[in-house]
Amino acid sequence: MTIEELDDVENERGDDGVYGLKQQQIVRVGDAKRVLVGAGARILFYPTLLYNVFRNKIQSEFRWWDEVDQFLLLGAVPFPKDVRRLKQLGVCGVITLNEPFETLVSTSLYRANGIDHLVIPTRDYLFAPSISDIGRAVDFIHKNASCGRTTYVHCKAGRGRSTTIVLCYLVEHKQMTPASALEYVRSRRPRVLLAPSQWKAVLEYSRHRQPATIHSPSLDAVMITKADLEGYHSTDITGLQRGEQCCIIQFPYLISS
């Protein structure tokens, strides 16, 4: 007897005994989509980059980067000439979401200026970083912020891939919901725009890494000894020996007069 595990996509068996035909077809379609989008991204990279540079020159509100938190900048792909300026702004870490052909500043140039560089290559337009890569980036930002160091997160235009990382950081470490984080970032950088897959990644990350539970002062543990309980009638402490301690959880409540 054999046991077949069915995936989300139903496996099929033909006359020739081939399994998973539908699944293989979906994988091929997904790969073809990735290749097609990748080719388009390469073709459009420099035209769209020049368009962004042009708008930055003529529109004061079209900024190359924006401060979204005390130690966090979100923006577009930096040029080599921008490295010194970033250093002056206190940037000590850069997260690059670009693929190699989109990257204009080398890791060696960042390091020469005392800037740590985390590279998470992510295809443009329709794709998002993996949950594990998002976690690496969020930890990178948090580690820097905890030491008073600023991190610059960028993709090509500072709209989708890099925004995905920033939203996840705000969800985990600023106790924001995904929706409130997006609204807040839009107030700082109005042109951010997430693809459906990128928003889905933010929602999934928020479920996987919830912020730590906030301590409630109404649930305080008080250590007491047997001597503290003398005069009280309770069967719960009959086994308590001299000098031993126990923990009492206090719950506040109202007493009607």
Q: Is 224 left (phi over 0), alpha (psi -120 to 50) or beta?
A: beta
**125 assigned to some structural domain:** yes
* Cα–Cα distance measured from residue 48 to residue 75, given in angstroms and rounded to the nearest whole number: 15
Are residues 104 and 175 both part of a single domain?
A: yes
Helical (H) or strand (E) element with 93:
strand 91-96
**What's the pLDDT band for 233 if we cut at 50, 70, 90?**
low
Are residues 163 and 242 both part of a single domain?
A: no
Q: How many domains does the chain have?
A: 2
Are residues 178 and 72 both part of a single domain?
A: yes
Three-class SS state of 105: coil
**10 assigned to some structural domain:** no
Are residues 97 and 151 both part of a single domain?
A: yes
In the sheet with 72-75, reading across from the earlier edge strand, the strands are 65-69, 72-75, 150-154, 91-96, 116-119
Please, which residues bridge with residue 222 across strands?
Answer: 248
Please, which residues bridge with residue 119 across strands?
Answer: 96
**11 assigned to some structural domain:** no
Cα dihedral sign, 197-199-204-205: positive
Residue-level pLDDT at 248: 47
Burial (CB count within 10 angstroms: exposed 0-12, middle 13-18, buried 19+), residue 233:
exposed
The whole-number average pLDDT for the span 141-167 is 98
The whole-number average pLDDT for the span 141-145 is 98
Three-class SS state of 147: coil
**25 assigned to some structural domain:** no
Taking the CA atoms of residue 194, residue 198, residue 201 and residue 202 in that order, the dihedral angle to the nearest 10 degrees is -20
Is-catalytic flag, 168?
Answer: no
Q: In three state form, how does the secondary structure of 52-66 look?
A: HHHHHHHCCCCCCEE
Cα dihedral sign, 183-189-191-195: negative
Q: Is the pLDDT of residue 157 over 60?
A: yes
The whole-number average pLDDT for the span 7-20 is 45
Are residues 111 and 195 both part of a single domain?
A: yes
Are residues 77 and 100 both part of a single domain?
A: yes
* Cα–Cα distance measured from residue 180 to residue 249, given in angstroms and rounded to the nearest whole number: 35
The whole-number average pLDDT for the span 109-121 is 98
Are residues 106 and 176 both part of a single domain?
A: yes
Give the angle subtended at the CA of 253 by the CAs of 248 and 257, to the nearest 5°: 130
Are residues 63 and 165 both part of a single domain?
A: yes
Query: Does residue 57 or residue 122 have the better pLDDT?
Result: 122
**110 assigned to some structural domain:** yes
Of the chain, the percentage scoring pLDDT greater than 70 comes to 65
Are residues 196 and 224 both part of a single domain?
A: no
Q: Is 231 left (phi over 0), alpha (psi -120 to 50) or beta?
A: left
Are residues 177 and 241 both part of a single domain?
A: no
Annotated active-site residue in 92, 147, 155, 168:
155
**146 assigned to some structural domain:** yes
Are residues 63 and 178 both part of a single domain?
A: yes
* Cα–Cα distance measured from residue 118 to residue 97, given in angstroms and rounded to the nearest whole number: 9
Are residues 175 and 54 both part of a single domain?
A: yes
**56 assigned to some structural domain:** yes
User: Which domain covers residue 79, as residue numbers?
Assistant: 46-208
Query: Going by C-beta distance under 8 Å and a sequence separation of 6 or more, which residues neighbour residue 230?
Result: none
**28 assigned to some structural domain:** no
Kindly report the CATH number assigned to the domain that includes residue 187. 3.90.190.10
* Cα–Cα distance measured from residue 42 to residue 218, given in angstroms and rounded to the nearest whole number: 57
pLDDT in tens, 54-108: 888 888 888 999 999 999 999 999 999 999 999 999 999 999 999 999 999 999 9
